Amino acid sequence: MKKEEILSCIDHTLLKAFAKWEDIDTLCEEAVKAKTASVCVPQSYIKRISEKYPDLNICTVVGFPLGYNSTGSKVQEIKDALENGANEIDMVVNISDVKNGDYDKVEEEIRTLKETCKGKVLKVIIETCYLNEEEKIAMCKAVTNAKADYIKTSTGFGTAGATMEDILLFKKHIGPDVKMKAAGGIKSVADLEAFIEAGCDRIGTSSALKMLEGASNGGEY
């Protein structure tokens, strides 16, 4: 797989609580140069990024990383993010609602947040590490019914990240208009290629550029 093809699927990510502007600025410079799909950053940096990098596709997170914010607060997060220049939203479902079996409630929240996005991309993080197979399948249906754009495996802050098993499960149960994003625990170029080849349109990672640079130095690229 060509390096450029991989980079076009990368949400170049920095969501650490202690991220400084110089770190975010470097991330954005790297994304522009590498032509990644987006940068995924904390909401507090969106406006500053959009002012300095007006052509950069900005993704941010909502209800992150635990998901138990109220729907109303998530709506306000999205409105603020879009006003400041974000184009894509990665929301976390209310995992407690999922565990309680309140799947209709989760679906309705996703639908409300998709409407709030007003045509912008909504990715739904279901945090697979906390869910059993029945719950994952229910989330595939909820994401599909609510007409979100993507289902995403993980926040990267849970007990585990993306697995191929979960991506293959998604493929069986999502609708034809739902795309997939893998995130968390992706540590090699082989992992990047495997998830893309399995059907992921996006990969969320902070280290794709380093992985690809290392492979290049080793002669693979």
Which residue among the candidates 114, 123, 136, 152 is catalytic per the annotation?
Answer: 152
Which residue among the candidates 90, 97, 149, 191 is catalytic per the annotation?
Answer: 90
| CB neighbours of residue 103 within 10 Å | 18
179 has catalytic annotation: no
16 has catalytic annotation: no
**Tokens at residue 112, please?**
């409300």
Q: How far, in Å, CA of 63 to CA of 99, rounded?
A: 17
On whether the CB atoms of residues 90 and 62 are closer than 8 A, the answer is yes
**Tokens at residue 122, please?**
């909504």
The residues near 203 (Cβ < 8 Å, ≥ 6 apart) are 9, 10, 11, 181, 182, 183, 186, 192, 195, 196
C-alpha R_g of the chain: 16
181 has catalytic annotation: yes
Residues marked active site are found at 90, 152, 181
